[in-house]
C-alpha cells in the first residue's frame, strides 16, 4: 500500500477562524500501490468525512518539490477547474459552477462563453472551441465568442464533468462521461470514454468500465490516450484505489463488476464473469478516494491534481502528484509534487482543493484551486 502521508503540522485556528501556517513544511513522499496486495473489502468501515471548510493563512503558498518554485498566476476566479492553452498563449479556463469559460490574456479576463450547463472539457480545433458540458458538447467561435452551438447530447446527472479532447489531426473527438451511481449497472455512454467525429456523428465506445473518468491527455512519447479515474466508494478506507491509466481501444476496466483487474466487487459478485475475466489492470494506482481530476503531460512525466477525499476516515489527496515516465511508460508509483492544501489529515479544514493541471509550452505548470478561485504557476528554479 501507499506510504502514509507524513505531514508534521501544528494546526492552530486564530480567533478570526483563519488557520495558522503549519509549523514545519509538509513532507514530499513517493507512493506505490501494488495491485496484488490490496486489502479485502470492508476491512475498515466506509467513512463519510467531507472537509469542513476552506481557510488558508494570509500569504500562504503551497509547497513544491525541490528544484521548483511556485507563485500566484491568477486570482478572483469562480470555481476554476479545467484549463487549456491556445497557440497564441491564451489560457482558457472553465469556471464550472457559474457556467462561464474565460480567456486569461496577461492581466485581461475575457468571458468567451457564459450561461453554460456546468462547462468542464475544453478543446480547440482551429478557430472553434469545443466545450464539454453536463448534458452536451457545444462549440463557440474562438477568440470572438458568441452563441453556443449544440454538437452532441450527453447523459446528465450523476458525475457531471465531461472532458473533451481531439486526436492529432482533429478528425476524432473523445469525451469522458462518468457514471450516475456508485456501483449500479450502467452501460456506455455512462462510465466510458466515447469517440465521435468532429460534428458529433459516428458515436462509438472507445473504453469503458471507468466509473468516473475525468482528465484526458495524450502521452507525448507513445501517442496513447490517458485518463484519470475516480473509483467507487463504500468498500473501506483503502478500497478502491483511484488511478491514472493508458486507455486501450475497446478496453474494459472493471466497473461496476470488478476493480483493479479481476477483483470482484462483492456487491456485484457473479453477475458478469465474462467481463471480469477481461478487466484491464490500470497503469498507475493512486491512494483510494484521492479524487484525481486534472491530468497533463510534459516530456518526462504525467501530473495529476488530486481534489481530495470525502469517503475516508483520514483525509488524503489535496495535492498535485508527478508520475515519472521513461520512454512514455510509468517507472512505478508516483511522487508528491505540490502539497500543503491538507494541513492535517485528521482535521476538518483544508487550505484549498487543486482541480486542474496544465503543462505550458514554456515548461511551467499551472494548477487551479477551485475552492479559492486561484491558479498557481510552478516553474523550475534557475
Would residue 284 be called left, alpha or beta, if left means φ above 0 and alpha means ψ between -120 and 50 degrees? Answer: beta
Average pLDDT along the chain: 93
Confidence of residue 266 (pLDDT cuts 50, 70, 90): very high
- Residues 282 and 279: their CA atoms lie apart, in Å, by 9
In this model, does residue 186 exceed pLDDT 90? Answer: yes
pLDDT attached to residue 188: 98
Place of cell 508527478: 322
Confidence of residue 156 (pLDDT cuts 50, 70, 90): very high
- Nearest Cα neighbor of 212 from 193, 196, 185 is 193
Q: Find the angle CA(37)-CA(39)-CA(40) to the nearest 5 degrees.
A: 125
What is the mean pLDDT of the segment spanning 42-46?
95
- Counting beta carbons within 10 angstroms of the beta carbon of residue 164, is it exposed (0 to 12), middle (13 to 18) or buried (19 or more)? buried
Helix (H, G, I), strand (E, B) or coil at 61: coil
**59-105 confidence digits (pLDDT tens):** 999 999 999 999 999 999 999 999 999 999 999 999 999 999 999 99
Confidence of residue 11 (pLDDT cuts 50, 70, 90): very low
pLDDT attached to residue 24: 64
CATH architecture of 30-380: 6 Propeller (2.120)
**355-379 confidence digits (pLDDT tens):** 999 999 999 999 999 999 999 999 9
Residues 6+ away with beta carbon under 8 Å from 5:
27, 29, 316, 342, 345
Cis status, amide bond into 199, omega within 30 of 0: no
- Nearest Cα neighbor of 322 from 284, 376, 361 is 284
In this model, does residue 5 exceed pLDDT 90? Answer: no
pLDDT attached to residue 314: 94
**214-232 confidence digits (pLDDT tens):** 999 999 999 999 999 999 9
In this model, does residue 1 exceed pLDDT 50? Answer: no
CB of 241 closer than 8 Å to CB of 286:
yes
pLDDT attached to residue 269: 97
Amino acid at each position: 500500500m501507499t506510504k502514509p502521508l507524513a505531514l508534521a503540522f501544528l494546526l492552530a485556528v486564530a480567533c478570526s477562524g483563519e488557520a495558522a501556517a503549519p509549523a514545519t513544511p509538509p513532507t514530499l513522499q513517493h507512493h506505490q500501490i501494488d495491485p496484488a496486495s490490496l486489502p479485502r473489502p470492508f476491512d475498515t468501515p466506509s467513512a463519510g468525512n467531507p472537509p469542513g471548510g476552506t481557510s488558508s493563512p494570509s500569504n500562504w503558498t503551497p509547497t513544491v518539490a525541490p528544484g521548483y518554485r511556485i507563485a500566484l498566476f491568477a486570482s478572483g476566479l469562480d470555481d476554476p477547474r479545467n484549463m487549456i492553452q491556445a497557440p497564441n498563449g491564451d489560457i482558457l479556463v472553465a469556471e464550472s459552477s457559474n457556467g462561464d469559460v474565460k480567456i486569461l490574456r496577461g492581466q485581461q479576463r475575457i468571458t468567451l462563453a457564459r450561461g453554460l450547463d456546468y462547462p468542464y472539457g475544453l478543446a480547440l480545433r482551429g478557430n472553434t472551441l469545443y466545450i464539454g458540458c453536463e448534458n452536451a458538447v457545444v462549440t463557440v467561435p474562438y477568440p470572438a465568442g458568441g452563441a453556443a452551438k449544440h454538437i452532441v447530447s450527453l447523459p446528465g446527472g450523476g458525475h457531471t464533468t465531461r472532458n473533451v479532447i481531439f486526436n492529432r489531426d482533429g478528425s476524432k473527438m473523445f469525451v469522458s462521461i462518468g457514471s450516475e451511481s456508485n456501483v449500479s449497472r450502467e452501460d456506455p455512454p455512462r462510465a466510458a470514454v466515447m469517440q465521435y467525429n468532429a460534428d458529433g456523428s459516428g458515436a462509438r465506445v472507445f473504453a469503458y468500465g471507468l466509473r468516473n473518468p475525468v482528465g484526458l491527455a495524450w502521452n507525448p512519447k507513445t501517442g496513447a490516450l490517458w485518463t484519470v479515474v475516480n473509483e467507487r466508494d463504500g468498500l473501506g478506507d483503502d478500497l478502491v484505489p483511484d488511478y491514472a491509466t493508458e486507455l486501450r481501444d475497446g478496453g474494459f476496466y472493471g466497473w461496476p463488476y470488478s476493480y483493479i483487474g479481476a477483483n470482484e466487487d462483492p456487491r456485484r459478485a457473479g453477475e458478469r464473469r465474462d467481463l471480469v475475466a477481461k478487466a484491464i489492470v490500470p497503469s498507475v494506482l493512486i491512494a483510494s478516494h484521492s479524487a484525481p481530476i486534472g491530468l497533463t503531460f510534459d516530456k518526462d512525466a504525467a501530473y495529476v491534481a488530486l481534489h481530495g477525499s470525502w469517503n475516508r476516515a483520514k483525509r488524503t489527496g489535496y495535492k498535485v502528484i508527478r508520475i515519472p515516465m521513461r520512454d512514455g511508460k510509468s517507472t512505478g508509483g508516483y511522487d508528491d509534487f505540490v502539497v500543503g492544501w491538507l494541513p492535517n489529515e485528521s482535521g476538518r479544514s483544508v487550505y484549498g482543493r487543486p482541480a486542474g493541471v496544465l503543462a505550458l509550452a514554456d515548461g511551467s505548470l499551472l494548477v487551479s484551486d477551485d475552492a479559492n478561485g486561484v491558479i498557481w504557476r510552478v516553474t523550475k528554479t534557475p
